[in-house]
Amino acid sequence: MHPTSVAESRLSRAARGAAELAGAEAARAEQDRSLSPEVLGAAQGALAHWSGYAVQRLRAQAPGAPGPSFYEETLARTAGELDAARLLLERADAAAEVTALEAARGQRDCALAADLLVGAVERLFRASGTAGHDEGAVLQRLWRDIHSAAGHVVLQFGPSAAAYARHALNPES
């Protein structure tokens, strides 16, 4: 397919979805998709950084420090939540606002992914001890960035849940 035809096809699909949503919802859905991957990338960076910290702590085996299961559980739960958030974001991106319900589900999925990512990074931050809380620490900066991005109005779960419920409970909307 010619590049212009591909672009026209994508624009046509986006236009149909936008027409089904009411203007503000279409803009909101697009913002959801643009902010959420950034939050996921920052959370993945936080996990990578924390993992290096955990390896150092395990090698040091300091008296009174948490044992291996603490680090294993933190790693496994956090990595699982990041995977779940990524899957939600992939589904939201694949829907591309085909119907109003799918667009609302995409909004919901992005907001839910943001909540999962905040919780996951919160766990890493707590598990880093005071070393991660220093103002210049990489983990502290990522924690702050993720909280800031997830605090954006388009990633708040309440409005996304309301939009999803409105379309899911009233199929004619």
Q: Which of 1-10, 143-152, 161-170 has the lowest mean pLDDT?
A: 1-10
Contact 113, 159 (CB under 8 A): no
Q: Which two tokens stand for residue 24?
A: 């503000």
The pLDDT, as a whole number, for residue 97 is: 60
Range of the domain at 149: 3-169
pLDDT in the model for residue 64: 78
When the pLDDT of each residue in the chain is averaged and rounded to a whole number, the result is: 81
CA distance 149 to 38: 8
The CATH number of whichever domain residue 49 belongs to comes to 1.20.140.10
The pLDDT tens digits for 4-24 are 343 333 323 433 443 344 344
Alpha helices in 61-99 (DSSP H): 68-95
**pTM score, whole prediction:** 0.76
Q: Residue range 57-66: average pLDDT?
A: 83
**Can you give the pLDDT at residue 165?**
96
Angstrom distance (rounded) from CA 160 to CA 158: 5
CA 42/CA 145 separation, integer angstroms: 8
- pLDDT tens, residue by residue, 62-121: 787 788 899 999 999 999 999 999 999 999 888 666 788 988 999 999 999 999 999 999
Mean pLDDT value of segment 136-161:
93
How many domains does the chain divide into?
1
